[in-house]
Structure 1
Amino acid sequence: MIRRFGDTPEKSQSYRRRPGVYALLPRDGELLLTCQREPGPDIQLPGGGIDPGESPIPALHREVMEETGWTISQPRKLGAFRRYAYMPEYDLWAEKLCHIYIARPARRICAPTEPLHDAIWMRADAACEILGNAGDRHFASIIARWMAQT
């Protein structure tokens, strides 16, 4: 069973399953994150939906590049969680299946190509407090504890 974070799904609402991949990108005590400026500032793990026919690892590379402008290396899956949310950009009620990976930020190639996204570096402990959803905060706290021990 995959752990759920966030709001309980409404029984009267129909949800479409939306698998996605998200990255924890630690370096020197910080995490590389993305800030989505609209509809309001939201600090997030870089990542997003897996396109039809796309595999998770290529989707992870693509999403991190789009939202941060960085390449990554050595992705390893940490776990997964689900959350139920309304996605206004798609006018969609979604059951989001969030697959979480840890990877090395390898090289900055360009600015983020995803509109209204900025790449930011933040101390891992601060990220645990500010990330926009409870599932992201949970996995970031695991990495923050690991980083504090190394």
Structure 2
Amino acid sequence: MIRRYGEAVKAGQHYRRRPGVYAVLLEGDQILTTFQEKPKPEFQLPGGGIDPGEQPIAALHREVMEETGWSIRVTRRLGAFRRFCYMPDYDLWAEKLCTIYLARPVRSICPPTEAGHSAAWLPAVEALDLLGNAGDRAFLARAIQSTFPR
């Protein structure tokens, strides 16, 4: 069973499953996030949908590059969660199946190429309150706990 975060499922609403990959990009006590301006301004874990025929890790590298301009080194899979939401850019009600990876930012290559996105470094502990969805916050908390055990 994959845990659900966020909005409750709307009765009678058809959702299309949309698998995606996202990265917790820790460097010391900082995290590299993407700031998305629309549909509402928010900080997010970089990542997104897996294109048809694309491998998940290749999609993760592509999405992080598009949203932050950084190359990464994937360390390990942290887990997955589901989120039911409306995606206005696609006019789509989606069941987002989000697989989260722990990765390291390696090098800034270029500015983000995806419109409306910018790379944003945040103190990881502060990002626990700033990330735009509960699933991202939960997996960041898990990564912090496993990376910096008390």
TM-score tier, shorter chain, comes to over 0.9
Within a 5 Å distance, the mapping from 1:32-71 to structure 2 comes to 32-71=32-71
* 2: CA distance, partners of 1:98 / 1:123: 23
Within a 5 Å distance, the mapping from 1:1-150 to structure 2 comes to 1-149=1-149
Query: Do the aligned residues in 1 keep the contact of 2:39 with 2:88 (CA within 8 Å)?
Result: no
Unaligned runs of 5+ in 1: none
Moved more, 55-64 or 137-146: 137-146
* 1: CA distance, partners of 2:90 / 2:77: 27
Deviations for 1:78-121, whole angstroms, at most 9, x for unmatched residues? 10000100000000000000000001101000000000101000
SS of 2:73's equivalent in the other structure is strand
Query: Do the aligned residues in 2 keep the contact of 1:124 with 1:143 (CA within 8 Å)?
Result: no
**Identity of aligned pairs, percent?**
60
The aligned length equals 150
Query: Do the aligned residues in 2 keep the contact of 1:29 with 1:147 (CA within 8 Å)?
Result: no
SS of 1:61's equivalent in the other structure is helix
Query: Do the aligned residues in 1 keep the contact of 2:25 with 2:103 (CA within 8 Å)?
Result: yes
SS of 1:74's equivalent in the other structure is strand
Tell me by how many angstroms 1:10 deviates. 1.0
TM superposition score normalised by structure 1 = 0.96
* 1: CA distance, partners of 2:148 / 2:75: 21
Moved more, 80-89 or 34-43: 34-43
* 2: CA distance, partners of 1:100 / 1:140: 9
TM superposition score normalised by structure 2 = 0.96
* 1: CA distance, partners of 2:79 / 2:141: 13
Unaligned runs of 5+ in 2: none
Query: Do the aligned residues in 2 keep the contact of 1:19 with 1:98 (CA within 8 Å)?
Result: yes
SS of 1:25's equivalent in the other structure is strand
* 1: CA distance, partners of 2:29 / 2:22: 19
Deviations for 1:128-150, whole angstroms, at most 9, x for unmatched residues? 11111100000011122334438
Tell me by how many angstroms 1:7 deviates. 1.3
